[in-house]
Amino acid sequence: MEQTISNEELKSVLKEVRQIQVRTGKIVSDVMAGEYHSVFKGRGMEFEDVREYQMGDDVRNIDWNVTARMNHPYIKNFREERELTVMILVDISASSGFGTTGFSKANIIAKICATLAFSAIQNNDKVGLILFSDVIEKYIPPKKGSNHVLRVIRELLVSAKILETEPLRKATNINVALEHLNKLHKRRGVCFLVSDFISEDFETDLRIVSKRHEIIAISVSDPREIELPPLGLIELEDAETGEVILVDTSDPAFLKSFHENIEIEMNSRKDFFRSLKIDYLEINTGNSFENSLISFFSRRSKK
């Protein structure tokens, strides 16, 4: 489904693209690139050449044909086949447009994905994008190069701007994105699934996709989705269903129940991804997403 944006909005988006490029450049070059490279290995080892055997070399790599011809032991030299295909699956449903920190979740998601995309390109990997709600909103096939990654970021920011006004589709269906990925990408790659995970059962499709691709789930939330201040009577609206309820946030019993339910939901989600052996990262828009990303990659590289 195509999105439209005015010339003024486009100028604003392009300005933000340049700001993101500058802002993420230092993170990517100083920290993320090294962590990213160590975390995501290539598809395997590729034969490069042969060289003379040296003390300490693995005898299993001896090339017996060359050794016989040269009358001296030679071993096969391998290098990592580094290139990966990195797919970024981004939830742009109505709930992603929520924000109380000066930025919507969609805006922070765009910046998170920009950092990931720049890291991938710097490591000579291909990057592709799937934007989804309860349908596939946009698909950009994976490619290399800085011009391509800037296109990816433009699409993310256009979506963020649209969501700050009126989303094209309200609901979320993660299965749609997973099925699209599995259909188009048969070769193993790395997939970042970025959402608030307000979606119906998607365990079956996620389990299928995780057997082929390496999945990293990134949940993005707003502080007010986790912690409600005591403001008295307020209306809460579900962005995806439109349901509105009146609650009393000055009622200690309600706040206690609300926070307990949120904690149960968050722990359940962690357990769910852990059961599938999928790495899971929680990012709150009230905190620095850069620090969260760096800490996550640093922890993972030490595993």
Can you give the pLDDT at residue 1? Answer: 46
Can you give the pLDDT at residue 194? Answer: 94
Can you give the pLDDT at residue 290? Answer: 81
Can you give the pLDDT at residue 177? Answer: 94
Can you give the pLDDT at residue 104? Answer: 81
Is domain 7-39+83-301 in CATH 3.40.50.410, yes or no?
yes
C-alpha–C-alpha distance, residues 154 and 2, integer Å: 14
Average pLDDT per block of 10 residues along the chain, 303 residues long: 54 63 59 60 58 82 86 76 82 81 82 85 88 91 88 82 60 91 88 87 90 92 83 71 77 86 90 92 88 81 67
Can you give the pLDDT at residue 78? Answer: 63
Can you give the pLDDT at residue 16? Answer: 67
The domain segmentation of the chain, as residue ranges, is 7-39+83-301, 46-81
Can you give the pLDDT at residue 23? Answer: 60
- Per-residue CA distances from 215 to 45, 189, 247 (Å): 22, 9, 38
pTM of the predicted protein model:
0.75
Can you give the pLDDT at residue 178? Answer: 94
3-state helix/strand/coil string of the chain: CCCCCCHHHHHHHHHHHHHHHHHHHHHHHHHHHHHHHHHCCCCEEEEEEEEECCCCCCHHHECHHHHHHHCCCEEEEEEEECCCEEEEEEECCHHHHCCCCCCCHHHHHHHHHHHHHHHHHHCCCEEEEEEECCCEEEEEEEECCHHHHHHHHHHHHHHHHHHCCCCCCCCCCHHHHHHHHHHHCCCCCEEEEEECCCCCCCHHHHHHHHHHCEEEEEEEECHHHHCCCCCCEEEEECCCCCCEEEEECCCHHHHHHHHHHHHHHHHHHHHHHHHCCCEEEEEECCCCHHHHHHHHHHHHHCC
Can you give the pLDDT at residue 192? Answer: 95
Can you give the pLDDT at residue 223? Answer: 86
Do the Cβ atoms of 120 and 84 come closer than 8 Å? Answer: yes
Can you give the pLDDT at residue 127? Answer: 93
Can you give the pLDDT at residue 18? Answer: 63
Can you give the pLDDT at residue 100? Answer: 76
